[in-house]
Structure 1
Amino acid sequence: MHLLVVDWDFFFPTPTAGAPLGEDTHLYAWPVAEDATHVEAIWLRRIRAFLAAGVPLPFCQGFEGFWGRFRIAPHARVFYADSNAWASQVFPSNMGGEGPWETVHLYDAHHDCGYRPNHRTFDEWKKTGPISAENWALAHYWNGSQVYVHFPPWRESMARPSERPLIPVSMTIDDGAAPNVTFDAVFLCRSGAWVPPWCDDQFSAFLAACPAKPVEVPQNQWTHPRPDVRRMVELEERLKAGAAE
């Protein structure tokens, strides 16, 4: 049995994840944490920076037709949540099977296989944990799955950023070819701390296009779509203009 995991930030080019560097790179210097501040509130500050610089807002790219390249079983279960950490709980037992996934294929701007200096080794992580969005793939490797990471095609090279996962894992830049397997389950995460709320309508369309019926992870806590920060900025400007008259 095989698991497909898709992180929405796969479609959101950012210089820190290997997209081309440019004069607007500083606008993407975003501290990231999976909490309410970084998933929702902080985007108002970030959109103001883009508007003040006169730079068009970035949107997700290349997600149209993405599902069509994969073989997804008619009985496949599709789970979704804001954080990829929940992918650590999707096992063949969710499908009535047993044992590990034979393969886990991740399409993501990040490898999620543990990052130094959080842990120095896989064995250290096994002793101390915890499972998070940064290391959930370790749980599947520990269970006996082979993990494959497919980085987005907008990434310029494997040299930037330099990847040092805690486990042996196949890492490649996506060339558009699909793995030669049939997927029995799919997990999709929105990555609200990495992808801005003005892309939430795109995410909804991507979720709806999935060939199997999606089911939200019961423990998932989110607002979707998130508050429209573009509308908030427009209201701010109107209030300022009104006060100046």
Structure 2
Amino acid sequence: MNTLLSIDWDYFIKTDDSWIYSLIENNKNIVMMWYKRYFEAKRCGKNLEENFKLDKGLINSFYDLLNNIFHIKDNAKMYISDSHKLSYYITQRFKCTDVYSFDAHTDLGYGGLAALDFGVNCANWLGKLLKDRLIKKAHIILSPLSHESKDQFSEINSEFNVQYDSMDKLFNMPEISLIHIARSGTWTPPWLDDEFFKFINSFNRPYKICNYTHRKWTPNDLTLADIIYNLVS
């Protein structure tokens, strides 16, 4: 009876509506896209970095949960990845029966039940776990910064056992035997990666990194050729 605590870094990041769309998780979107967006914004007299704010208060609230509500086993395994879809394979491998997902997105699949006919990806991994009967129940804690709501997923909610919670409604949680933290670098900016690892280290336990690209954010060090390359890519 294993339970997975699955956390997406975008849970803690405030941004605007323009970023709520589907993107493919690849190196271009994880790294190069950020430079392209940055220089496009700069050309319009805007600073892209100001559009993404880390909510320190939300992180502190999560730390309170970590210390007072979560019951994490001493031998709990912890994994770090870029894509959140790794949670599907962790759940499958360790036969988890419940998943607690902290995320700015539900990851149930977008487009109703038909979205679960596709392979596992970052947008449907939790819905696929339910459809494939690998878990009995999904607990979704949507970020208060999220632009999504449970009403958008009524078709999937009516078909499977999905419970929507908030931080202040979490009580009597089962023991956590596995932890997965996803950066989701396509949606979270590289200039917050140092804060990402500060968050990881706050768990004070060893972890394994899987399929993760380390990024350095150095827009001021790029040559004119680099900038043009990123703009036209």
TM band (smaller chain): 0.7 to 0.9
Q: How much has 1:174 moved relative to structure 2?
A: 3.9
| 1:151 aligned to which of 118, 128, 142 | 142
Counting only pairs closer than 5 Å after superposition, residues 111-150 of structure 1 correspond to structure 2 as 111-116=106-111, 120=114, 122=116, 125=117, 129-141=118-130, 142-150=133-141
- CA-based RMSD of the aligned residues comes to 2.9
Structure 1 or 2, whichever has the larger Rg, is 1
Higher strand share: 2
Task: Report the TM-score when normalising by structure 1.
Answer: 0.73
Provide the aligned length of Structure 1 versus Structure 2. Answer: 210
Q: Give the partner amino acid of 1:208.
A: N
Query: Which consecutive residues of structure 2, in runs of 5 or more, have no partner in the other structure?
Result: 228-233
Q: Give the partner amino acid of 1:9.
A: D
> Runs of at least 4 residues of structure 1 off by over 6 A?
none
Q: How much has 1:228 moved relative to structure 2?
A: 1.0
C-alpha change, 1:198 and 1:150, in structure 2 (3 Å) is same
Name the counterpart of 1:43.
34
Q: How much has 1:6 moved relative to structure 2?
A: 0.1
Q: Distance in 1 between matches of 2:153 and 2:37?
A: 27
* Identical aligned residues as a percent: 20
Q: How much has 1:171 moved relative to structure 2?
A: 2.3
Q: Distance in 2 between matches of 1:156 and 1:115?
A: 14
Name the counterpart of 2:15.
14
Q: How much has 1:57 moved relative to structure 2?
A: 4.8
Q: Distance in 2 between matches of 1:231 and 1:71?
A: 44
CA contact (8 A) 1:101 1:140 kept: no
Q: Distance in 1 between matches of 2:78 and 2:169?
A: 22
Task: Report the TM-score when normalising by structure 2.
Answer: 0.76
Q: Distance in 2 between matches of 1:132 and 1:232?
A: 34
Q: Distance in 2 between matches of 1:147 and 1:156?
A: 20
2:4 is aligned with 1:3:
yes
Name the counterpart of 1:108.
103
2:216 is aligned with 1:223:
no
Deviation digits for residues 124-178 of structure 1 (CA, Å, limit 9, x no counterpart) = x2xxx3111111113432213310111112347737x833463531124443745
Higher helix share: 2
2:203 is aligned with 1:210:
yes
Q: Distance in 1 between matches of 2:20 and 2:221?
A: 22
| 1:33 aligned to which of 14, 24, 27 | 24
Counting only pairs closer than 5 Å after superposition, residues 158-237 of structure 1 correspond to structure 2 as 158=149, 162-164=152-154, 166=156, 167-168=159-160, 169-175=162-168, 177=170, 180-217=173-210, 220=211, 222-224=212-214, 226-232=215-221
Q: Give the partner amino acid of 1:215.
A: K
Query: Which consecutive residues of structure 1, in runs of 5 or more, have no partner in the other structure?
Result: 17-25, 95-99, 240-245
Q: Give the partner amino acid of 1:137.
A: L
Q: Distance in 2 between matches of 1:140 and 1:8?
A: 21
CA contact (8 A) 1:78 1:214 kept: yes
